[in-house]
DNA sequence: AACGCGTTCAACCGCCCGAGT
DNA sequence: TACTCGGGCGGTTGAACGCGT
């Protein structure tokens, strides 16, 4: 019982999107909001697969997307998140609201992977205790850390599931530069035009769009999914510890993680102050309507990391704690 | 100018998951 | 419970582009 393709192969256009197609898609979404992608090709008359429409929107046309030129902060963030979450590009992208998962994935594959590889070989070549070597830990310790991770994940999850704690976590993440507060506070402004201030679309739509949007529907599925991914990330790390290096590697490189946490803060403030106008913030709110909820698991992760880090400082604290 | 090669990135493909029935 | 369907995700592809020869 094979599943039929998402759309008829015949009569479906493939390949690069034309500006005309973009305009049609954007005007449709501007009017109806993203979602119900199945209906998009028929309603718009586009000879495109529904998936293709969704992809075009999420990866290219969606407002608030920043393209190219990844900053050093973003690089660090991607590297660390990749280390934590593995190739969960959507989850990683949820921490970089201006970047798409596809962009991050591409950037990782084209730039960062090579960069890290080079770094790794350089380290290995230059000293006996290279990058890879430094990551090796005794098996017993590895197992104990894994157990610790599991406990932490359980704890974090139970906290996340508790409404009080959850709100606490959100509130604790009250970094002035943190966009979550503005996200939640700008919720009422969701009816803002989808394409009105996104640089990439505004240019294209100049002179085209005159009517205000009718709908305030939001693209919730992406972020919801991201949230789910992230909420699951902790559990994954714990439950499938043997699957990937994340839980182990998580316990390492704490210095760099602290560095990262700091850079993350400055990164957020930098990014949002330099490139996000109040209007754009609202746009991001549209893109990530549940961003407040997304921040929460990040707090969990931060907490997790910091807990472990503090334990790391005290010799063998984590190990003694659970054994 | 022409060619080959490497890189980049938009787009596609196939699988998976959750919601609905 | 079993099945269908829509949507999301990650891996892969291939056209476009840049650069060196």
Residues A193-230: tens digit of each pLDDT: 343 334 555 555 544 443 433 333 333 333 333 333 33
Tell me, what's the pLDDT at A34?
80
Distance A34 CA to B1 C1' (A): 48
Q: Protein A256 CA to nucleic acid B18 C1', in Å?
A: 37
Report the nucleotide nearest the CA of residue A54, measured to C1': C7
Q: How far is CA A303 from CA A80, A93, A96, A153, A311, in A?
A: 15, 20, 19, 11, 12
Tell me the pLDDT band of A245, cut-offs 50, 70 and 90. Answer: very low
Footprint of strand C on the protein (CB under 7 A): A 1, 3-4, 6, 15-16, 35-38, 50-51, 54, 58, 87-91, 101-102, 105-106, 109, 219, 221-222, 225-226, 229
| Band (A141; pLDDT cuts 50, 70, 90) | very low
How far, in Å, is the CA of A137 from the C1' of nucleotide C15?
45
What is the pLDDT of chain A when averaged over all its residues?
Answer: 55
Is it the case that residue A106 has pLDDT exceeding 80?
Answer: yes
What integer pLDDT is reported at residue A94 of this predicted model?
A: 84
- Give the model's pLDDT for residue A7: 57
Question: Quick one: how many helices (H) and strands (E) in chain A?
Answer: 18, 0
Which DSSP helix (H) or strand (E) runs through A277? none
pLDDT of residue A8: 53
Residue A238 has pLDDT above 60, yes or no: no
Cβ atoms of residues A65 and A198 within 8 Å = yes
Max mean pLDDT among A60-74, A185-199, A249-263 falls in A60-74
Cα A64 to Cα A49, A97, A198, A216, A304: the distances in Å are 24, 8, 6, 17, 30
For residue A14, the surrounding DSSP H or E stretch is none
Which positions of strand B lie within 7 Å of protein CB atoms?
Answer: 7-16, 18
Delineate the domains of chain A, giving CATH numbers in brackets: 19-61 (1.10.10), 72-125+138-192+216-322 (no CATH)
Query: Stretch A281-286: mean pLDDT, rounded?
Result: 36
Show which residues sit with Cβ under 7 A of nucleic chain B: A 3, 6, 13-17, 48-49, 51-52, 55-56, 59-60, 67-68, 102-103, 105-107, 109-111, 228
Gap from A38 CA to C17 C1', in Å? 34
Contacts of A254 by beta carbon, 8 Å cutoff, 6+ apart: A305, A308, A309, A312
Give ∠ CA A37-A39-A40 in degrees, rounded to 5.
65
**What's the CA A68/C1' B7 distance, rounded, in angstroms?**
14
What's A175's DSSP letter? -
In the predicted model, what is the mean pLDDT of residues A237-247?
35
Higher-pLDDT residue of A161 and A42 is A42
Residue lying closest to nucleotide B14, CA to C1' = A5
Taking 80 as the threshold, does the pLDDT of residue A140 lie above it?
A: no
Q: Which residue is nearest to nucleotide C13 (CA to C1')?
A: A15
């Amino acid at each position: 019982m094979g599943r039929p393709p998402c759309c008829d192969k015949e009569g479906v256009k493939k390949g690069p999107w034309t500006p005309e197609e973009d305009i049609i898609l954007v005007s449709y979404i501007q009017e109806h909001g993203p979602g119900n992608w199945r209906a998009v090709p028929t309603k718009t008359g586009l000879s495109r697969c529904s998936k293709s429409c969704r992809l075009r929107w999420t990866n290219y046309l969606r407002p608030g997307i920043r393209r190219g030129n990844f900053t050093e902060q973003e690089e660090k963030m991607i590297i660390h998140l990749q280390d934590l979450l593995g190739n969960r590009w959507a989850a990683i992208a949820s921490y970089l609201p201006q970047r798409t998962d596809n962009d991050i994935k591409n950037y990782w594959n084209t730039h960062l992977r090579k960069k890290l590889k080079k770094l790794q070989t350089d380290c290995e070549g230059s000293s006996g205790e290279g990058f890879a070597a430094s990551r090796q830990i005794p098996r017993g310790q590895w197992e104990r850390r894994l157990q610790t991770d599991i406990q932490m994940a359980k704890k974090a999850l139970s906290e996340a599931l508790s409404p009080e704690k959850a709100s606490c976590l959100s509130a604790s993440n009250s970094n002035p530069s943190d966009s979550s507060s503005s996200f939640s506070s700008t919720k009422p402004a969701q009816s803002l035009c989808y394409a009105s201030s996104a640089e990439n679309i505004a240019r294209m739509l100049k002179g085209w769009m005159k009517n205000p949007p009718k709908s305030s529907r939001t693209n919730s599925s992406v972020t919801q999914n991201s949230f789910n991914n992230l909420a699951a990330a902790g559990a994954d790390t714990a439950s499938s510890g043997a699957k990937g290096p994340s839980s182990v590697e998580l316990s390492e490189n704490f210095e760099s993680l602290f560095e990262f946490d700091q850079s993350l803060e400055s990164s957020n403030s930098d990014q949002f102050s330099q490139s996000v106008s109040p209007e754009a913030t609202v746009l991001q709110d549209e893109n990530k309507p549940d961003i407040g909820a997304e921040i929460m698991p990040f707090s969990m992760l931060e907490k997790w990391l910091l807990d472990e880090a503090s334990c790391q400082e005290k010799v063998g604290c984590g190990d003694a704690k659970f054994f």
